Amino acid sequence: MISAFFIFNQKGEVLISRLYRTDFKRSIADVFRIQVVSNSDVRSPIITLGSTSFFHVRINNLYVVAVTKTNANAALVFEFCYRFISICKAYFGKVDEEAVKNNFVVIYELIDEINDFGYPQNSEIDTLKTYITTESIVSTNIAAEESSKITTQATGAISWRRADVRYKKNEAFVDVIENVNLSMSAKGNVLRADVDGHIQMRAYLTGTPECKFGLNDKLVIDKNDKGQSDAVELDDCRFHQCVSLAEFDADRTISFVPPDGEFELMRYRSTSNVKLPLRVIPSVTEVGTTQVQYTVIVKANFNNKLSATDVVIRIPTPLNTTTTECKAPTGKAKYVPAENVIIWKIARLQGGAECSIRATADLTRTTTRQVWARPPIDVDFQVLMFTASGLIVRFLKVFEKSNYQSVKWVRYLTKASGNYQIRF
Amino acid sequence: MATSMRGLTQFIADIRGARVKELEEKRINKEMANIRKKFKDGNLDGYQRKKYVAKIIFTYILGYKVDIGHMEAVNLIASPKYSEKQIGYLAVTLLMHENSDFLRLVVNSIRKDLDSNNEIDNCLALHAIANVGGSEMAEALVEDVHKLLISATSQSFVKKKAALTLLRLYRKHPEVIPAAEWALRLVSIMDDQDLGVVVCVTSLVMALAQDHLDAYAVCYTKAVDRLQRLVIEHEYSATYTYYKVPSPWLQVKLLRLLQYYPPTEDQTIRTILHQVLQTIMNNCAEPTRNVQHNNAQHAVLFEAIGLAIHLDTGSPLVSNAAVLLARFISSKETNVRYLGLDTLAHLAARADSLEPIKRHQNTIILSLRDKDISVRRRALDLLYSMCDIDNSELIVGELLRYLRVADYALREEMVLKIAILTEKYASSYKWYVDTILQLISTAGEHVGDEVWYRVVQIVTNTEDLQHYAAKVAFEHLKTPSTHESLVKVGGYILGEYGHLIANDPGYSPLEQFQLLHSKSQFCVAATRALLLSTYVKWVNVFPEIKPQLLNIFDRYRHVLDAELQQRACEYYTLASRPDEDDFLQNICEEMPPFPPRVSALLGSLNKKQGDTGDKRTWIHGGKEANLDRDATKRKTLNMNLTNDDNTSAPPSSTDDIISSLAGLNMTSTPTPSPANPLVSSSGDGSLHLSVAPNIDRWYEKLTYSGDGVLYEDVQIQIGLKSRYQGHIGQVAIYMGNKVDASLSSFTATVKVDDTEALSASFSKIPPNVIGPRSQSQQILQVECKKMFSTPPILTVSFLTGSHQTTSIRLPVVLTKFFEHVKLEAADFFERWKLIGNEREAQSIFPVNLTSSGQLDLNKYRAVISGHRLNVLDGIDPNPNNLVAAGVLHMSVEGKVGCLLRLEPNREAKLCRLTVRSTSGDVAKEVQKLIQKPIVAA
């Protein structure tokens, strides 16, 4: 199992170092620094040197590293790393060098609590928060009482939820958030288009409610009433541990006892019938070796009532650009030499609308004549109340012993950040 | 300068301050875009251009790709301001690789800077050349660099840099430097006043001399002279002492340089060298506490010992050195131990007797367990070199024991060395077989194929050994884990000679078969194939196990490996033939002995010694190895010479031929560079005698007179005074400077064609400066050993602005070594007849009459007596005829008598000269010498 756990910063300095077993010395951190941090060729998240394996996850210029000497379950180790990151997010809001440095005591407490002799035990944020607090210490009486509760909860059937939750108003919020990834060839063919979605839920419900959740998942729809066209095919999905997988396997209903507060109910992926919200038509011509001319047209391919916000289009310029000239009737465009791109920002783009930009970039002569690699145009945007996969929440039912009424809210958001690319 | 460029400082500060790589990249992209814009817009002043190029350089150093700014850098070089030029040069050396097209644009600017009067510009240009060093650049600029080096007006530091630049160019592109042509001029700079210049030039000369030994031969005397002045006369400026050692770097280089040349014959130089080495060793007698002082001293000392060994291994110096070295190898300092062992290995490689080294054998063996691997390695080399027939068993045993624990890096080499030593110094074949098999079983994976091939060869060729070898191989195979090489040896030997031991208990055919076959499953296909052959041999000699063997062949007929399958099929058919068929028997005849072959082992050992940089002057191994190597080297040289004459094969192929002949792979042998040293030695001056009618006249006159002028021109006058006594002579040479400047880097050398017959050496090394309008006297000692006919050649070279070289014959001729003999008429005629006319040299030639129409008898008499023959009066009845006699003294061939008769005839204007001597050659030579001044002009 995990023998050691480290956090490194960008420069390879050790921020957190914890050894769970005696089969390593602290100097193993140097090995990682030399072999991985200082070696820019290494891209693999798992490096095995001799009998030692390093698993690392990069986040915000930090390396979260687990080291093992045994044939550990790699998926488990990575799950632990990602879980650690999400726990940190829950505790400090963000995970970066500064946060780690400011909260190193809590981090040591957390990882000691989660791992026993390198075996991850309880990593439920909700539970952890009950006894690893960032506030001042409560009195010993209460602490004793709490600690007995902790034991029952941690060993109980629903370790993620306390029994005594009370709310005046029972509410549940469901956010369906989708990330669209696209890469389109210069000829306009879609090379790859997929949706990375997750359903985020905030449950403020009294007692121990049992929820049932329904989507327009193709498998479910096809089983019930055939012939409906708006069903979505999900490639794979992953649920929060509160979801009863037995029931899902049996009749594909999603039923669960939600943890208190915010959690990620499920993650899914869809690759078929992806609706692309924005269509980009670039036309780029190189005039000799001294100039490049651009004409880029953007079309919004969705309902007129909706609109895309925060649209940012990055149009790459050659590395030897000296000056550019941009004419954008809608939005603002400017040349950013630090990234070698023209950034065109459109604050709001109504569904069905179309806008364009014309730009020229002047080039200088270079020593070695190199063909411009033509990196793709990158588009970032957000569209509210739209799902690229077409997924819709069909129902959310809450059952509780007291049979109270609850209010449910559903929101949809489709966004692209960094992976919506069009070649030219 | 740089500090005043605020933009640059800010840029660097920003980049240093960037917390993550992405920020740094952004900052750089932004800056580069800005620079591109500025360059595009043009109209930059020098300061801005310098600033932007500096930024580009910094970006480049950080590892980013930069493809602008080259043109600006080229422009900066041409700028008159130092700071801009400097940045320009920096950019050129960093941004442009040696084949960049932009370099063509730079070459002219660099040339201009080389020609500039400003030393700093010169230096910048030299730096750029040395750092970039492309072949095109080298070709274009090497002449200019050379000019800068030899120019009288160059400052010392420019000369230093120029010398080092040339060295760097030579190492990279040896073909661009006309090494032989520049030899004398370069060597003359070794006399520079500034020791720094001398160090640099010596480095250059050392590199060149390695490839052009003969052309640079003059440097020998120079080096000895410089060493003498440094070590004995303490002639150096205080700035060049390093911890009280006078310029150790220079000393080391000079000592090293001398090792590239064969030991000199010149007695004077030898004596001086001896003194120098003695002084160096004495200086090191008392160790000091100061580490740096010790280091410097040791550096010089080890080089000195190396030279002493090179000069003469029998000299007392070397025995002193051996004592010192013995102390060093047990020193506490790793470096000293290392050098001590290395030098001892040099000694072992050269010395006639290994006794002094053997005394410390135990210490050396202990060094094998030193904590430092490089020391262990040297100890191994030394043990290998010092091994001989007496201590071979001990050393090999020790090496074998050490092999078990040795580092992996060392093992392969050790195995080879053990194998070679065992073969070379085997006292008994038994021991040889034992050792080698033990070697194979201990270090199987490091044993190359050549080792076991060799075992098989030797066993096959030695009949007495076969029985024993088979037994030992069998025993070794019994150990549970055996290496493939051992299985191969075992398979071969048992297959061939298994029948010899089959009757001994425990070695029955079945047991042999079971043992060998139990190993086969762990072996690769090649070994299995060999085992199959063994089995078929056994089918022949051991009919009792034939069924088992047939079974195996049958099984192998179905394996996937084509080679195994084929063998199995063939052997199966062979073995299944009826018993009375003698086909199998014929095929499996015992192996005939291998033709004697030189061991391939040495070859693979030498292959491993690829030295870079300065070459070693010796190789590891005993004296013979080094002698072999020298012989081969010489042969290679000669071969090259003949090849060059008919311009056939390139030298490298000759080298291959040689190496294949010698059975040694001589890849490590220094091969001369394409510019052939022997051919180029014609540029050395010996064949370029200065020619002028005056010179001939002066020379001729001096052949029959002792004193006079030998040579004179506008700058120098050379006069002679000589005295001869028997076979010994002393010639005082007066060299007078006729100009108002001193002649610096003055060199005078005497070259004798046949050193066996005549020796000539200066009693001390000539001074290297002759002051204005002053004279320097040199005593030349000559000794006649045998008959000789070519006079020695004096080569004088010096610097007066430019470099001048003059070569002239010295009037040291055979007749100088004559002594008078007094003979009566009767005696004379008796001897004259006794010699008879078969050992006579006679000639008839025209003569001029004096203005009064008479024979110039006085001159004839003067010539003859000038040639040191006693003119005997009253012997010949004709008063005009001259009769003379003399005895030639030679230290080796002894005395030779000589009789002479000169019969001039006034009417015919002819003259007959007859010389008779006990040696016909002498007679001819004397006749030639005397005829020359008498014959009509």
Question: B109 near B74, Cβ under 8 Å?
Answer: yes
- Distance from the B28 Cα atom to the nearest Cα atom in chain A, whole angstroms: 7
Over residues B762-806, the pLDDT tens digits come to 877 777 788 888 888 888 888 888 888 888 888 888 877 677 888
Q: How confident is the model at residue A75 (pLDDT cuts 50, 70, 90)?
A: very high
Please report the sign of the dihedral spanned by the C-alpha atoms of residue B233, residue B236, residue B240, residue B244. Answer: positive
Which residues of chain B approach chain A closer than 8 Å at the C-beta? 19-21, 26-27, 29-30, 32-34, 36-37, 39-40, 67-68, 70, 102
Which A residues 376-405 touch B at CB under 8 Å?
Answer: none
What's the pLDDT score for residue B621? 62
Q: Is the CATH number of domain B816-936 3.30.310.10?
A: yes
What span, in angstroms and rounded, lies between the C-alpha atoms of B499 and B328?
55
Nearest residue in chain B measured CA to CA from A367: B67
Cβ of residue A320 closer than 8 Å to a chain B Cβ: yes
- Distance from the B42 Cα atom to the nearest Cα atom in chain A, whole angstroms: 11
Q: In which element (H, E) is residue A409 found?
A: strand A407-416
DSSP states of A183-220: EE-TTS-EEEEEEEEEEEEEEE-SSS-EEEEEE-BHHH
What's the pLDDT score for residue B628? 62
Residue range A242-247: mean pLDDT, rounded: 88
Which A residues 26-65 touch B at CB under 8 Å?
Answer: 61
What phi, psi does A293 have (nearest 5°)? -115, 135
Residue for token digits 């030992």?
B472
Q: How confident is the model at residue A345 (pLDDT cuts 50, 70, 90)?
A: very high
In chain B, residues with a C-beta closer than 8 Å to the C-beta of A321 are: 33, 36
- Alpha helix ranges (H) inside B646-718: 651-662, 677-680, 693-703
Question: B375 near B410, Cβ under 8 Å?
Answer: no
What span, in angstroms and rounded, lies between the C-alpha atoms of B782 and B771?
27
Q: In which element (H, E) is residue B751 found?
A: strand B744-751
Residues of chain B with CATH 3.30.310.10: 816-936
What's the pLDDT score for residue A144? 64
| Contact yes or no for A337 and B32 at CB 8 A | yes
What's the pLDDT score for residue A139? 57
Residues of chain B with CATH 2.60.40.1230: 667-811
Residue range A334-363: mean pLDDT, rounded: 91
Question: A197 near A177, Cβ under 8 Å?
Answer: yes
| Contact yes or no for A320 and B27 at CB 8 A | no
| Contact yes or no for B39 and A366 at CB 8 A | no
Would you say residue A77 has pLDDT above 50? yes
| Contact yes or no for A337 and B33 at CB 8 A | yes
- Distance from the B7 Cα atom to the nearest Cα atom in chain A, whole angstroms: 17
B596 CB contacts (<8 Å, ≥6 apart)?
Answer: B461
H helices, E strands: number in chain B: 39, 16
Would you say residue A331 has pLDDT above 60? yes
What's the pLDDT score for residue A137? 56
ipTM: 0.73
DSSP states of B357-374: HHTTHHHHHHHTT-SSHH
Residue range A264-291: mean pLDDT, rounded: 90
CA-closest candidate to residue B894, choices B784, B740, B801: B784
Lowest mean pLDDT among A286-295, A394-403, B668-677: B668-677
Q: Which of B32, B34, B67 sits opposite A367 (nearest CB)?
A: B67
- Distance from the A417 Cα atom to the nearest Cα atom in chain B, whole angstroms: 18
**What is the 3-state composition of chain A as percent helix, strand, coil, each rounded to the nearest 5?**
20, 40, 40
Mutate to test the interface with B, among A11, A322, A335, A370 (most CBs of B within 10 A): A322
Residue for token digits 């001319």?
A293
Question: B312 near B271, Cβ under 8 Å?
Answer: no
- Distance from the B89 Cα atom to the nearest Cα atom in chain A, whole angstroms: 17
Nearest residue in chain A measured CA to CA from B96: A367
What's the pLDDT score for residue B433? 79
Mutate to test the interface with B, among A58, A96, A98, A319 (most CBs of B within 10 A): A319
What span, in angstroms and rounded, lies between the C-alpha atoms of A250 and B327?
89
Q: What CATH number does domain B428-587 carry, 1.20.120, 1.25.10, 1.10.10, 1.10.3470?
A: 1.25.10
CA-closest candidate to residue B110, choices B99, B131, B97: B131
What's the pLDDT score for residue B650? 38
Which A residues 330-349 touch B at CB under 8 Å?
Answer: 337-340
Would you say residue A315 has pLDDT above 90? yes
What's the pLDDT score for residue B682? 37
What's the pLDDT score for residue A298? 93
Looking at every residue in chain A, the average pLDDT score rounds to 87
Over residues A84-106, the pLDDT tens digits come to 998 998 888 888 899 999 999 99
What's the pLDDT score for residue A421? 93
- Distance from the A9 Cα atom to the nearest Cα atom in chain B, whole angstroms: 10
- Distance from the B355 Cα atom to the nearest Cα atom in chain A, whole angstroms: 50
DSSP B596: P
Nearest residue in chain A measured CA to CA from B40: A364
Instruction: Tell me what percent of the residues of chain A surpass a pLDDT of 90.
Output: 42
Cβ of residue A322 closer than 8 Å to a chain B Cβ: yes
- Distance from the A293 Cα atom to the nearest Cα atom in chain B, whole angstroms: 18
In chain A, residues with a C-beta closer than 8 Å to the C-beta of B19 are: 10
Is residue B121 left, alpha or beta, with left meaning phi > 0 and alpha meaning psi from -120 to 50? Answer: alpha
| Contact yes or no for A322 and B70 at CB 8 A | no
CA-closest candidate to residue B788, choices B699, B932, B695, B892: B892
In chain B, residues with a C-beta closer than 8 Å to the C-beta of A340 are: 29, 33
Cα B788 from chain centroid (whole Å):
31
Q: Is the CATH number of domain B667-811 2.60.40.1230?
A: yes
What span, in angstroms and rounded, lies between the C-alpha atoms of B513 and B499?
12
Mutate to test the interface with B, among A289, A334, A367 (most CBs of B within 10 A): A367
Quote the radius of gyration of chain A (alpha carbons, Å): 26
The CA-CA-CA angle for residues A209, A214, A218, to 5°, reads: 155
| Contact yes or no for A362 and B102 at CB 8 A | no
Give me the helix-helix angle, B429-442 and B408-424, nearest 10°.
Answer: 170
Q: In which element (H, E) is residue A378 found?
A: strand A377-384
DSSP states of B442-455: HSGGG--HHHHHHH
What span, in angstroms and rounded, lies between the C-alpha atoms of B893 and B367?
54
| Contact yes or no for B19 and A10 at CB 8 A | yes
Residue range A295-321: mean pLDDT, rounded: 92
| Contact yes or no for A337 and B40 at CB 8 A | no
| Contact yes or no for B68 and A366 at CB 8 A | yes
Which residues of B sit in the known binding site? Answer: 6-7, 38, 47, 51-55
Over residues A187-213, the pLDDT tens digits come to 889 999 999 999 999 999 988 899 998
Q: Which of A338, A339, A364 sits opposite B68 (nearest CB)?
A: A364
| Contact yes or no for A320 and B30 at CB 8 A | no
Cβ of residue A289 closer than 8 Å to a chain B Cβ: no
Task: Give the largest CA-CA distance in chain A.
Answer: 81
| Contact yes or no for B20 and A61 at CB 8 A | yes
Task: Tell me if residue B483 falls in helix, strand or coil.
Answer: coil
B385 CB contacts (<8 Å, ≥6 apart)?
Answer: B345, B348, B349, B620, B621, B622
CA-closest candidate to residue A54, choices A5, A9, A108: A5
What phi, psi does B752 have (nearest 5°)? -115, 135
Q: Tell me which residues of chain B have a pLDDT lower than 50.
A: 1-2, 609-612, 637-687
What's the pLDDT score for residue B885? 86
| Contact yes or no for A320 and B67 at CB 8 A | yes
